[in-house]
């Protein structure tokens, strides 16, 4: 009867409650209303702990707010469950032979740490590379030569006193997205078929997690992005801008903004139509992105033909130089829509936070930039306001 219940994760959730000690070494199991001291080696207890782990990983997919946090939490749970020497979750770009994301024992590695902990000759030419190439789970017992490893990989394993190893490819069909690796130390017993099964199941759950967070990210991008220009939409841009202003008030780097308005855009629409206007707006987004390349800042579309640029920059004159470069990048290169070649110019109003004092609000800064924009338009358009040295 119990075995039948344990086969179903949801039934297990209702029937079994496991309370773990803080270090995860001891647990109290409540089963069908009875308190049971678990036998760590019994099939029943093993199945309880396995299914509890599966349920916890499933919950992590739904409750964690980012892919990184999900992978870190899963890695920690795996290490606790297996009492493992190492648990590594590595996400890869197979065509480029690049590790894009790596978690080692619950710690996220940066690029330099990835190169140090997972060098190419160990990862790609070792058991992980074999699992990626074949798409199959790799099991390597301790103290036995393995033809799937290079001599360097085997030597590293010996130096680190690594025992049995399981490497499971993380597959989001049809592509391998990464690997889940569980390593025991040399003084631990070899992992068994139950361990391999649970590692394989967790790898499948990680693949589901990857799809979930990719869809979540795509959805958020759609919600926060203006589809015509591929810039931040007004709502999200203003949210980012408010966060930047709060950071400045807390001693962060100074910022400035400039508002960009396409000159005579209404006439362009009336003369050439909405399709041509859309092409111009799309290219305008591209030009603005180019102007901010290698610069710290954010871009947003505020209205039909009005855009805003936020720059992390020290003073007013430096901000004005960027705004002027942006204006020239737009006005000196033609825009294209089918066979049409169009000249487009913009008026720009700028405001640096230092112009208004440390206690300035976002609303005041935006109002000042908008006022400067109106002056630029009223004084002949196709210019940045205020003028240099004014």
pLDDT digits (tens, 9 = 90+) for 190-239: 999 989 999 999 999 999 999 999 999 888 888 999 999 999 999 999 99
State how many domains the chain has: 3
Could you tell me the pLDDT band of residue 98, with boundaries at 50, 70 and 90?
very high
Per-residue pLDDT band for 11 (boundaries 50, 70, 90) equals very low
* Calculated CA dihedral for residues 323, 324, 328, 329, nearest 10 degrees: -30
Do the beta carbons of residue 372 and residue 356 sit within 8 Å?
Answer: no
Backbone dihedral region for residue 294 (phi beyond 0: left; psi -120 to 50: alpha; all else: beta): left
> Looking at the structure, do residues 104 and 250 belong to the same domain, yes or no?
no
Please report, for residues 227, 270, 273, 342, the alpha-carbon distance to residue 276 in angstroms, rounded to integers and kept in the order given: 16, 10, 6, 10
Task: For residue 18, name the pLDDT band (cuts at 50, 70, 90).
Answer: low
Residue 100: inside a domain, yes or no?
A: yes
pLDDT band at 5 (very low <50, low <70, confident <90, very high): very low
Both 125 and 240 in one domain: the answer is: no
The C-alpha angle with vertex 131 and arms to 135 and 50, in degrees rounded to 5, equals 90
Query: What is the pLDDT at residue 34?
Result: 42
* Domain shared by 202 and 120, yes or no: yes
- What pLDDT digit, counting tens, does each position of 255-281 carry? 999 999 999 999 999 999 999 999 999
pLDDT tens digits, 132-178: 999 999 999 998 889 998 888 888 899 999 999 999 999 987 899 99
Of 330, 334, 361, 365, nearest to 347 by C-alpha is 330
Strands 384-385 and 346-352: parallel
How far apart, in Å, are the Cα atoms of 173 and each of 34, 60, 170, 176, 207?
43, 22, 9, 7, 9
- What confidence score (pLDDT) does residue 145 get? 87
pLDDT value of position 251: 82
Q: How confident is the model at residue 40 (pLDDT cuts 50, 70, 90)?
A: low
Strand stretches in 211-254, DSSP E = none
Asked if the model's pLDDT at residue 368 lies above 90, the reply is yes
**Strands of 111-239, DSSP E:** 138-140, 162-172, 175-185
The pLDDT-based confidence of 21 (bands split at 50, 70, 90) is low
Given 173, 197, 221, the domain boundary residue is: 221
- Does the pLDDT of residue 2 top 70, yes or no? no
- The lowest-confidence range among 167-171, 313-317, 381-385 is 313-317
State whether 375 and 291 are in the same domain.
yes
Same domain, 114 and 49: no
Which of these three, 44, 63, 82, is where a domain ends? 63
105 and 72 in contact (C-beta within 8 Å)?
Answer: no
Q: Give the length of the chain.
A: 390
Q: Is residue 228 part of a domain?
A: no
The answer, yes or no, to whether residue 371 has pLDDT greater than 50, is yes
CA-to-CA distance for 80 and 181, rounded, in angstroms? 14
- Least confident span in 14-23, 243-252, 338-347: 14-23
User: What's the helix, strand, coil split of the chain in %, to 5?
Assistant: 50, 25, 30
Residue 227 lies in a domain: no
- 3-class DSSP state of 335: strand
Do residues 96 and 15 share a domain? no
* Residue 111: partners with Cβ closer than 8 Å, 6 or more residues away: none
Q: What is the pLDDT of residue 3?
A: 41
**In this structure, is the dihedral angle defined by the CA atoms of residues 230, 234, 235 and 238, taken in order, positive or negative?**
positive
Do 69 and 214 belong together in one domain?
yes
* Per-residue pLDDT, 247: 87
Most confident region among 1-15, 153-167, 347-361 by mean pLDDT: 153-167
Q: Is the pLDDT of residue 20 over 70?
A: no
Number of H helices, E strands in the chain: 15, 16
226 assigned to some structural domain: no
Query: What's the CATH code of the domain at 125?
Result: 3.30.450.40
pTM > 0.85: yes or no: no
User: What gap in Å lies between CA 171 and CA 208, rounded to an integer?
Assistant: 9
Separation CA 179–CA 238 (nearest Å): 39
What average pLDDT does this structure show over 122-130? 92
Please give the share of the chain, as a percent, with pLDDT higher than 90.
68
Q: What CA–CA distance (Å, rounded) separates 345 from 380?
A: 11
**Which residues face 172 on adjacent strands?**
175
* Together in a domain, 42 and 173: no
Average pLDDT, the chain: 87
| CATH (domain of 305) | 3.30.70.270
Which two tokens mark 317? 């004159």
What is the per-residue pLDDT for 36? 46
pLDDT value at residue 150: 86
- Domain check: are 329 and 375 in the same one? yes
Residue 361 has what pLDDT? 86
Q: How far apart are the first and last CA of the chain?
A: 86
For residue 386, give Cα distances in angstroms to 332, 344, 352, 374: 21, 21, 11, 11
pLDDT band at 4 (very low <50, low <70, confident <90, very high): very low
Q: Is the pLDDT reported for residue 107 higher than 90?
A: yes
125 inside domain: yes
Give the HSE-up count for residue 156: Cα atoms under 13 Å, Cβ half-sphere.
16
Same domain for 52 and 78? no
Whether residue 56 contacts residue 77, with contact meaning beta carbons closer than 8 Å, is answered with yes
Q: Is 301 part of a structural domain of the chain? A: yes
Q: Look at residue 374 in the predicted model and tell me its pLDDT.
A: 97
Task: Using the predicted structure, report yes or no on whether residue 46 has a pLDDT greater than 80.
Answer: no
* 53 and 198 inside one domain: no
pLDDT of residue 390: 62
Same domain? 160 vs 83 = yes
Residue at which a domain ends, from 168, 186, 221: 221
- Residue 309 near residue 260 (C-beta atoms within 8 A): yes
The residue segments making up the domain with residue 57 are: 1-63
Q: How confident is the model at residue 10 (pLDDT cuts 50, 70, 90)?
A: very low
Residue 1 has pLDDT above 50, yes or no: no
Among candidate residues 241, 254, 375, the one with its CA nearest the CA of residue 298: 241
Contacts with 66 (C-beta within 8 Å, 6 or more apart), sequence order? 213
Instruction: Identify whether 229 is part of a domain.
Output: no
């Amino acid at each position: 009867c119990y075995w039948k219940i344990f086969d179903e994760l949801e039934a297990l959730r209702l029937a079994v409650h496991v309370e773990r000690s803080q270090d995860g070494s001891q647990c109290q199991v409540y089963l069908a209303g009875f308190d049971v001291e678990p036998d760590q080696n019994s099939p029943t207890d093993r199945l309880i702990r396995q299914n509890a782990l599966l349920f916890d990983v499933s919950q992590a997919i739904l409750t964690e707010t980012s892919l990184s946090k999900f992978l870190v939490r899963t890695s920690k749970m795996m290490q606790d469950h297996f009492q493992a020497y190492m648990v590594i979750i590595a996400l890869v770009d197979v065509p480029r032979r690049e590790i894009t994301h790596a978690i080692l024992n619950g710690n996220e590695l940066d690029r330099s740490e990835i190169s140090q902990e997972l060098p190419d000759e160990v990862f790609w030419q070792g058991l992980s590379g074999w699992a990626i190439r074949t798409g199959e789970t790799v099991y390597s017992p301790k103290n036995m030569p393995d033809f799937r490893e290079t001599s360097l990989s085997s030597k590293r394993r010996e130096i680190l006193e690594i025992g049995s190893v399981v490497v499971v490819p993380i597959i989001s069909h049809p592509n391998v997205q990464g690997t889940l690796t569980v390593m025991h130390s040399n003084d631990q017993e070899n992992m068994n078929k139950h361990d391999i099964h649970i590692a394989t199941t967790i790898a499948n759950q990680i693949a589901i997690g990857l799809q979930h967070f990719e869809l979540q990210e795509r959805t958020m991008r759609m919600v926060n992005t203006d589809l015509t220009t591929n810039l931040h939409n007004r709502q999200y841009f203003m949210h980012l801008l408010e966060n930047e202003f709060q950071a400045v008030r807390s001693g962060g780097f100074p910022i400035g903004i400039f508002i960009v308005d396409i000159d005579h855009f209404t006439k362009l629409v009336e003369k050439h139509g909405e399709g041509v206007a859309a092409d111009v707006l799309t290219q305008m987004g591209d030009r603005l992105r180019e102007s901010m390349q290698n610069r710290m800042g954010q871009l947003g579309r505020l209205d039909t033909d009005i855009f805003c640029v936020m720059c992390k920059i020290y003073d007013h004159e430096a901000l004005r130089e960027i705004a002027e470069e942006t204006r020239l990048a737009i006005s000196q290169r033609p825009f294209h829509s089918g066979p049409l070649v169009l000249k487009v110019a913009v008026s720009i109003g700028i405001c640096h936070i230092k112009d208004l004092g440390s206690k300035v609000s976002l609303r005041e800064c935006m109002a000042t930039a908008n006022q400067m924009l109106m002056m630029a338009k009223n004084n002949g358009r196709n210019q940045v306001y205020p003028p240099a040295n004014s």
